[in-house]
Structure 1
Amino acid sequence: MTEHTTNTGRTEQTGHAGRSGHAGGPGHAPGGADAYEVVVVGGGAAGLSAALVLGRARRRTLVVDAGEPRNAPAAHMQGYLSRDGMSPAEFLATGREEIARYGVELVRDRVVDATRDGGFAVALAGGRTVRARQLVVATGLKDELPPVEGLAERFGRDVLHCPYCHGWEVRDQAFGVLATSPMSVHQALMVTQWSKDVKLFLHTVGEAELSDEDLRRLAAAGVDVVPGEVAALVVEDDRLTGVRLAGGGTAADGTVHARQVLFVAPRAVPRTGLLARLGAETTETPFGRYPVVDGRGLTTVPGLWAAGNASGFAEQVVNAASRGYRAGAAINGELLTADLDAAVRV
């Protein structure tokens, strides 16, 4: 049974009243308890930021959150001005409290389908169907890690993917970089900003795949290149101590390189299935297939928006919040214009 929890704020009774004060005016969402002006799918930084803007604009808004934030494995998030070092869980809890003050509802559920019929009919796993004039998809992405023994268990601790997120905290330790594509060379060069003891484990990348320019840059940066496939991580006393290569056909007799931190580039899988089902145009990027959006986050489907990592790979928490804010403000303007145009035609 899917858990449902709804958060409503003290201002709920007045938060959704139209500015004109009559049915059909701006801020009015006809159709009963399950009809909203905006439904936001995803309760991460992007979704909550969009909902905050919409709630403050007195729009009847629902956030549907499956409770699967991408950065859940991390103990802290960094680089967000005034929130540097805050845990992701605390950040999201604070955001949920803030949207509740403005009457925004949040339900812990999963969207299983959506259809277009003038607006959007959004089906939830718990059996409820809600309607929306505008729909924001902020479902983020999922990280798929290489199948190396011990890697997934350490992810977000001493197995990391982003030096801007975690580099300062592990500075001057012995770094490894797990190469899963020639692009891993860039990651190895980048992390030398935080440590001068860096080894690039080629893993599934053959030496022939590295260009002469790659090799010159790695040498100039002081990065040691280690050929061979990585079999497993070595963990002692709940901390990473080494990287074991496969040797002689078994992991047991492979060489162990002492390392304290391992950087890896997960395969990013955007959670954009809902956008595709609704007919949004997508485009292939080096990081996966993402929706085509304008500068505000509007897809090629009228009323359908994408924000955060559902709209692009490189959205850090602060960027995702910004994209959500931008989408929320744009949606409010779209709804206002539509309502006023409808009033003029009457």
Structure 2
Amino acid sequence: METNHDVIIIGGGPAGLAAATTFARARRDVLVLDTGEPRNAPAHGVHSFLSRDGMAPRELLAIARGELLGFGGRFRLEGAQGARAVEGGFEVTLSGGDVLTARRLLVTTGLVDELPPIEGLREHWGTSAIHCPYCHGYEVRDKALVVLATNPMSAHQALHFTQWSDDVTLVLDGQAAPEAAEAARLAAVGVRVVAGPVRRLVSEEGRLTGVEVGEADSDAVVVPCEAVVLAPRFTARSAVLESLGVEPVDFLMGETVVGRHVPGDPMGGQTSVPGVHVAGNVTDPMAQVIHAAGAGVRAAAMMNMALIVEDADRAVAAAS
């Protein structure tokens, strides 16, 4: 079957664009499809990315798209509804109804941060409501922090953030109190533990000032803070993969389920369907931007080698 492209990449974040640029530099016909909804859009800047610290997420993506186009790659601001295997490769149906084909697919659609239904939380998400110390810990250094317990790992999260602030409070919000050893560590480094459900985040003129805790109005108290920390549920954007028969599975931290992801081979992201690969947060929810970009480069290199071998085998068959 004649195909439109060597590779279609579904998802134009750091993983997808880094992979696409690698393919374009390898002189492959590559197309990136993207919906224009980056996970980190609420954040003011990308952090821990060598030479690009503090750059606005959309600016980083714009630069990356420009580099891709400069090497002859293609980008289309449109998502994919689904895909299916066909002779010689894969068929991808776009959200507008167009159908394209490719020899290989790389899915880098990322994930969705599912937040608990706490009043005021979404308005602060990515700025003064964060989850990753290595992404945003420096930006909240020495501030009063409240860690909202969303799973059994939250006590560990509170301990982690004491590296950035001496003023850390853990609000249990229905989670069990830390076990003895963990409680001793928290107490030793000055982490306060507050029981009771979280009612809402308190703001003044758009600035976060505290977390209201209590069963009812009569016993509610406000724990002052300048930023909150929590662990959202990480849910892979896996609809296209599921249309191909690739199913997401639970993502574990220790014994705690913290979301869903799509497993892939660690070297190149090969999934359970030959020719379909994954990279970035859709498979590794813990990857920061720089990790996702690196995974995209690695996946592209492995996929390109497979295409080189396939082309050579065709040449052998044609010559015999």
- Aligned residue for 1:234, secondary structure, equals strand
Structure-to-structure mapping, 1:9-20, within 5 angstroms: none
Give the whole-Å Cα distance in 1 for the aligned partners of 2:124 and 2:250: 30
Give the whole-Å Cα distance in 2 for the aligned partners of 1:280 and 1:157: 34
96, 101, 126: which one aligns with 1:126: 96
The aligned residue for residue 255 of structure 2 is none
| Offset at residue 103 of structure 1 (A) | 1.4
Identity %: 47
| Offset at residue 245 of structure 1 (A) | 1.0
Give the aligned residue type for 1:184: S
Q: Does 1:273 align with 2:239?
A: yes
Q: Does 1:40 align with 2:9?
A: yes
99, 110, 134: which one aligns with 1:140: 110
Contact 1:181 1:204 in 2 (8 A): no
| Offset at residue 169 of structure 1 (A) | 1.3
| Offset at residue 58 of structure 1 (A) | 0.7
Structure-to-structure mapping, 1:1-346, within 5 angstroms: 30-31=2-3, 35-118=4-87, 119-207=89-177, 210-247=178-215, 249-250=216-217, 254-280=220-246, 282-286=248-252, 287-294=258-265, 295-346=267-318
Give the whole-Å Cα distance in 1 for the aligned partners of 2:72 and 2:166: 51
Contact 1:280 1:292 in 2 (8 A): no
| Offset at residue 281 of structure 1 (A) | 5.7
Give the whole-Å Cα distance in 2 for the aligned partners of 1:282 and 1:158: 30
Give the aligned residue type for 2:180: D
Taking only aligned residues, the RMSD between alpha carbons, in angstroms, comes to 1.4
Q: Deviations over 1:216-266 (max 9, x none)?
A: 11111210000001101110122111111134x23x761111111100111
Give the whole-Å Cα distance in 1 for the aligned partners of 2:10 and 2:275: 14
Contact 2:264 2:283 in 1 (8 A): yes
Give the whole-Å Cα distance in 1 for the aligned partners of 2:269 and 2:154: 30
| Offset at residue 161 of structure 1 (A) | 1.0
Aligned length: 311
Flag as ranges the 4+ runs of structure 1 deviating above 6 A.
none
Give the aligned residue type for 1:116: A
Contact 1:281 1:300 in 2 (8 A): no
Go from structure 1 to structure 2 and tell me whether the alpha carbon gap of 1:171 and 1:52 turns closer, same or farther (over 3 Å shift). same
The aligned residue for residue 15 of structure 1 is none
- Aligned residue for 2:200, secondary structure, equals strand
Go from structure 1 to structure 2 and tell me whether the alpha carbon gap of 1:257 and 1:44 turns closer, same or farther (over 3 Å shift). same
Contact 2:268 2:303 in 1 (8 A): no
The aligned residue for residue 8 of structure 1 is none
Contact 1:77 1:87 in 2 (8 A): yes
| Offset at residue 288 of structure 1 (A) | 2.9
> Normalising to structure 2: TM-score of the pair?
0.94
Give the aligned residue type for 2:91: A
Give the aligned residue type for 1:85: G
- Aligned residue for 2:229, secondary structure, equals strand
Contact 2:234 2:260 in 1 (8 A): no
Give the aligned residue type for 2:208: L
Give the whole-Å Cα distance in 2 for the aligned partners of 1:204 and 1:180: 8
Q: Deviations over 1:133-183 (max 9, x none)?
A: 000000000001111110000111111111111111111010100001111
| Offset at residue 102 of structure 1 (A) | 1.4
